[in-house]
Amino acid sequence: MEIKMKVKIGVVGAGTMGAGIAQVAAQAGHRVVLTDTNPEQLKKAEQQISSSLLKLTEKGKFSPEEAEEIKNNMAYSTQLSEHQEAALVIEAIVENLAVKHQVFTQLEQVVSPTCILASNTSSLSIASIGSCLQDPSRFLGIHFFNPATLMPLVEVIPGVATSNENTQRIEELITSWHKTVVVCKDTPGFIVNRVARPFYGEALRIYEEGLADFATIDWAMTTIGGFKMGPFTLMDYIGNDINYTVTETVFAAFYYDPRFKPSFTQKRHMEAGFLGRKTGRGFYNYQEGSVAPAPNRNEALGQQIFERILVLLINEAADAVFMQVASPAAVDLAMTKGVNYPKGLLAWADELGAGWVLERLESLFAEYGEDRYRPNPLLRRKAREQSKFIL
């Protein structure tokens, strides 16, 4: 069966991401069933969606009648059996392989043979999740970004067993939801969570070396670099528990490659319960009456911090292309649409010159002797040939 608009969509998991994905599908005109084993979580999801639609109506995105129609497209249930008529079911539950296997094993017994099954996982292997299915050719990753209703990017990740036909169907369907789709290889972190690791990791490393404090590093990346959020502000927004877990997962999945080594600083904050905004304290204090620390606005120091983090981001983007994770255009699209970077990293490299980037990486590698700073072969090639990533 070919997936068409207005078919029934299922979402499993009524947390923030699941509710957001369900709302996106309902806004596209689909009938949507959102399931969760916790009735209270379903009530929260329904309230989240109603509140979101009210805000969108107030902003003129929808008329009150359209918002009501979207709400009427939604159904909520604690039973997976409600997905029996779905053409696509997207799972958005805890990042635990055993739990996901349990859910998909049950789902496969409920849905039709033509139903496509997908996971919103951000860090687990698509092949490993789909291995529990009798027909893994209909399984793939569909990774939305938080908040799903606002962030335009969706990574579509076929596993080694996924059929090309099903990948194409999903690419067309998600594009019809007014999302920007990039298709990428099933490797740890996919595009965004892989390429973005140095934004957090190198910022933490700079802090741990005593070169600058949190506020100064954030100031350098926003004021000099043009990023919308500094790394520590962003980690506090995401949650140190979530951000650290993704880093640790990617690190282990890459066979402990030093490029992805987690930080003790972030681990200690997580262990102390300093998770960020949601707990009132992370790298910064968000409690009432607290005063934000002032950065050291030394331009030379700020430029040094910005360049050090930027060249590592560019090196990681080059590695994603070198290892055939995605095309240069897809990598840049993912980073600008998925995490709002001010420029595509490879376009940025073209602007600065691959030789300029390579020189700074080689200087860091010579000073530290650590593999986290080793320049990628594709970057070396571009510098030698004086050629560009984006043609």
Which are the catalytic amino acids? 122, 143, 155, 193
CA dihedral sign, ordered 231, 232, 235, 240: positive
- Work out the end-to-end distance of the chain between its first and last CA atoms, rounded to an integer number of angstroms: 38
CA angle 17, 18, 21 (to 5 degrees): 85
Nearest Cα residue to 218 out of 242, 244, 192, 200: 200
User: Partners of 75 in the beta sheet?
Assistant: 33
Nearest Cα residue to 160 out of 143, 136, 178, 142: 136
Nearest Cα residue to 7 out of 117, 165, 115, 109: 115
Nearest Cα residue to 156 out of 178, 137, 141: 141
Q: Please, which residues have CB within 8 angstroms of residue 191's CB and are 6 or more apart in sequence?
A: 155, 182, 184, 320, 325, 326, 330, 331, 334, 335, 338
Helices (H), ranges, 77-227:
97-110, 126-130, 164-176, 192-195, 197-208, 214-219
As a whole number of angstroms, the distance between CA 370 and CA 148 comes to: 37
Strand 180-183 relative to strand 153-158, pairing: parallel
Strand 88-91 relative to strand 74-77, pairing: unpaired
User: Partners of 140 in the beta sheet?
Assistant: 118, 158
Residue with tokens 């055939």: 324
As a whole number of angstroms, the distance between CA 164 and CA 158 comes to: 8
CA dihedral sign, ordered 367, 372, 378, 379: negative
Ramachandran angles phi, psi of 4, nearest 5°: -125, 165
**Under a CB-based contact definition with an 8 Å cutoff, are residues 277 and 237 in contact?**
yes
User: Partners of 117 in the beta sheet?
Assistant: 89, 139
